[in-house]
Structure 1
C-alpha cells in the first residue's frame, strides 16, 4: 500500500491542505507531537502525494520521571512520532527546544502563579516555540505550508484566511490559538478542524498507525502528574510561603494557607475553612501580602475586563461579538470598548455579569464562529 492509498478514495485529502501548487510539486511540514491527531495529519499529508517532513520539538520531558504516557512532550511521544514517520516513509526531525521552552513558558507559568494570576501556558507555547519557531523551520525547509493537529478551521474569507471554531464543539481549540497572526495563518493548515475525533481515530486505524488508540493528554505537558504547585516551587521556592485566608468584605482572618500558588480565582475546594453560613470562593489573591481573599459567589461577578497585548485576526465585524474568558466556558455577549490588535489594551464589557474572570487568563473574542482575536486579562471591574 502506498501513502496515496492509505484512505478511502472518497476522502479528498488534497483539499484539506489548500495547496497553491499541485501536490506532487509541494512540500508539507507537519508538527508531530506523537499523539494520534498530529499523526493522522502526517498520514493525510502523505496521502496527497506531496513531499512530507515531520518535525517534533522536544520541549519538556517528564515522561521518563513519572513513567506516564500521554504528556505531549514526553520521550515516549517522540518515539511514537518517529515510528509514525517510519510507517509513512517520511522524513522526521527532532529539535531540542527545552531551554527556550523553559525560559518562555515554564518560568512565565511559575511567575504568573507567584503573582496571583491564573496562567494559560498552552497559549504561551503556541505564541512562542510552537508557531514562531516551527514556522521559521518550515519556511527554511522550503515548505508550502505547516500543518498541525489542532481542532480549528482555516477558512478563506473575502479579506484573507480566517480562523474559525472546529466543527466539533467538544474538540474546539480556538481559545488557545487566538494569538495567531494573519501572516502565520496564511501559512498554517488545520486539516482536522472539520472532523470529529471518532473519525480521526478511524483514519489512524486505516493508516495502520501504532498510536491509533493512544489516549489524549489531559494535563499541561510539563506537569503530567497534575501537581503544578510542585513545578512552581521548584522554580520559585518562595511560592510556598504560608499566609492568611482573609474575608474580602470583612477583613476577618478565616484561616491559613500553604502558599498562594495553590489557589486561583473562582476556586471553592481546598480552602479548609468551616463553620460558615454560606460557601466561600477565592475572589482575589494579594500575592504581595501572601493573602488569599475569599467571599460569597456574588463577589465573583464582573462587569468588564481590561485586556492587554491584544491580537486581531481579520477585520472587526459590524455585528455582535462574544467572548470566552476560560477555555471551557461558553462564549457570552460583549461590547468591545477600545482598539483590538497590534498589542493595544482594550476593555470588554459583558452584557450580563460574568463569573470567575481571572487575571492571567485569556479573553478570546468571536464573531459567530470566527475568531476575531483576544488578549490577556489584566484586571476586572465589578
Structure 2
C-alpha cells in the first residue's frame, strides 16, 4: 500500500478522508497546513490545528505541521491584493489549491517520501488509457472541481480525493460512527486569514482608495462608494444610494471606471452583453477541439452554460458564449466541462 500525506484541516471532510485511507490499508500521515495571516486579523488556526491533532490521535496516525506561510502570502494573499488593485476579481480558493495544497504541500510530501497527498475536497479522479482525469464530486451541492482547474496531469498522478464519491450526509454519518472528534463540527466558511473581517476592510490595509460617485445608467450621480476597485460586477451591497426612484428596487454594479473612480449601477445585473470570453493562464487537462461545444462555469455552484472553443494559442483562448449570461468580471475563473469531467480552465480577461 501507499504512503499518503493527508491535509488535515480540522474539519470533518479531511478527517473522514484520513479514516477511509487508513481503512484501505495505506500508511497515513496527518498534516496540518499552516497558512499566512496578517497581524491585524485574528484567525483561529490554533484551534483548527488542535482539532486536526485530535483526529490524528483518535486514528492513531503520525501528525505533522507544514509551514506554508510564505507560499500562501506570495501565491494567494499578494496575488489577490494585486488583482484587486488592477480592478480584477480574483478567486483565492483557486490560487490556494494551486500554490499551497497541491503546490508547496505536494512538493513537501514527496520530499518526505509520500506517494500521494489527499484532501477532503469533493472531487474525483480516474485513470484510463488516455491518462488521468479530474471529475466532479458525486455530491452536486458540494462539488469543488471548479476550484481545482489549475491541477496538472502530473499532479493528479499524486493526488487522492477519498470523500469525492459520497454525499456530505454519508461523510457526516461515517464520522459519527467512527466517533471522530470533528463529527459534529460545522463546515468552515470563507477565507481563513480574513476571519470576521470583510474583503474591503482587509484590502484597505494594502491599497489606498478614495470615495467616488455611484452613477445610474444615465450617468447621473445617485450615491457614493468607497473606491471603485473594491467592487465586482453583479455586486449589490457595499455602496450607498442616496437618490432613489419610486420603485425602490435593489441596485447591482454593472460597470466601473477605475480612472474616474466611479461605479455604475442598474436595477438588474447585465445579461446578454457577453458574446465571447477571452481567457489567459489556461490549464488544459484534456485537449480541446476548435469549434467543439463544451460546458462552462464562471462561478461556484453556477449552472453550466454552453460555449464553443473558437481559438487557442499557448496559455490563451477564446470562447463563444452560446446563451445569455450575466456579465462576468475580469479575474474570475472560467472552468470547462464535458459531463462530469473537468477539462481545465483559465482566467477571464474580458
Length-normalised TM-score, structure 2: 0.91
Q: Which residue of 177, 196, 199 maps to 2:167?
A: 196
String of CA shifts for 1:15-70, please: whole Å, max 9, x gaps.
Answer: xxxxxxxx2xx211111111111111111112222211122211035899557x6x
Q: Is the 8 A contact 2:29 2:62 kept in 1?
A: yes
Which position in structure 1 is the counterpart of 2:237?
269
String of CA shifts for 1:149-170, please: whole Å, max 9, x gaps.
Answer: 1001102233111111111100
Q: Does 1:148 align with 2:119?
A: yes
Q: Does 1:166 align with 2:166?
A: no
Q: Is the 8 A contact 1:110 1:231 kept in 2?
A: no
String of CA shifts for 1:123-152, please: whole Å, max 9, x gaps.
Answer: 011110111111111211222211111001
Cα separation, partners in 2 of 1:95 and 1:64, compared to 1, 3 Å: farther
Which position in structure 2 is the counterpart of 1:335?
308
What is the aligned residue count? 345
Which position in structure 1 is the counterpart of 2:89?
118
Q: Which residue of 102, 108, 120 maps to 2:73?
A: 102
Cα separation, partners in 2 of 1:262 and 1:65, compared to 1, 3 Å: closer
How far apart are 1:353 and its partner, in Å?
1.6
Length-normalised TM-score, structure 1: 0.84
SS in 2 for 1:354: coil
Q: Does 1:37 align with 2:13?
A: yes
Q: Does 1:85 align with 2:56?
A: yes
SS in 2 for 1:42: helix
Q: Does 1:257 align with 2:225?
A: yes
Output the CA distance in 2 between the equivalents of 1:367 and 1:376.
19
Extract unaligned runs of 5+ from structure 1.
1-22
Output the CA distance in 2 between the equivalents of 1:101 and 1:194.
29
Which position in structure 2 is the counterpart of 1:308?
280
Q: Is the 8 A contact 1:284 1:294 kept in 2?
A: yes
SS in 2 for 1:60: coil
Output the CA distance in 1 between the equivalents of 2:281 and 2:229.
24
SS in 2 for 1:46: helix
Q: Which residue of 15, 18, 22 maps to 1:46?
A: 22
SS in 1 for 2:114: coil
Cα separation, partners in 2 of 1:49 and 1:339, compared to 1, 3 Å: same
String of CA shifts for 1:335-361, please: whole Å, max 9, x gaps.
Answer: 111127x5x111121111210411111
Cα separation, partners in 2 of 1:206 and 1:114, compared to 1, 3 Å: same
Which position in structure 2 is the counterpart of 1:19?
none
Which position in structure 2 is the counterpart of 1:244?
213
Q: Which residue of 290, 308, 318 maps to 1:347?
A: 318
Considering only aligned residues, what root-mean-square deviation do their CA atoms show, in Å?
2.3
Cα separation, partners in 2 of 1:347 and 1:250, compared to 1, 3 Å: same
Q: Is the 8 A contact 2:277 2:320 kept in 1?
A: yes
String of CA shifts for 1:286-307, please: whole Å, max 9, x gaps.
Answer: 2232221224536443222111
Q: Is the 8 A contact 1:152 1:193 kept in 2?
A: yes
Output the CA distance in 2 between the equivalents of 1:300 and 1:277.
24
Extract unaligned runs of 5+ from structure 2.
none
Output the CA distance in 2 between the equivalents of 1:235 and 1:97.
21
Cα separation, partners in 2 of 1:35 and 1:261, compared to 1, 3 Å: farther
How far apart are 1:187 and its partner, in Å?
1.1
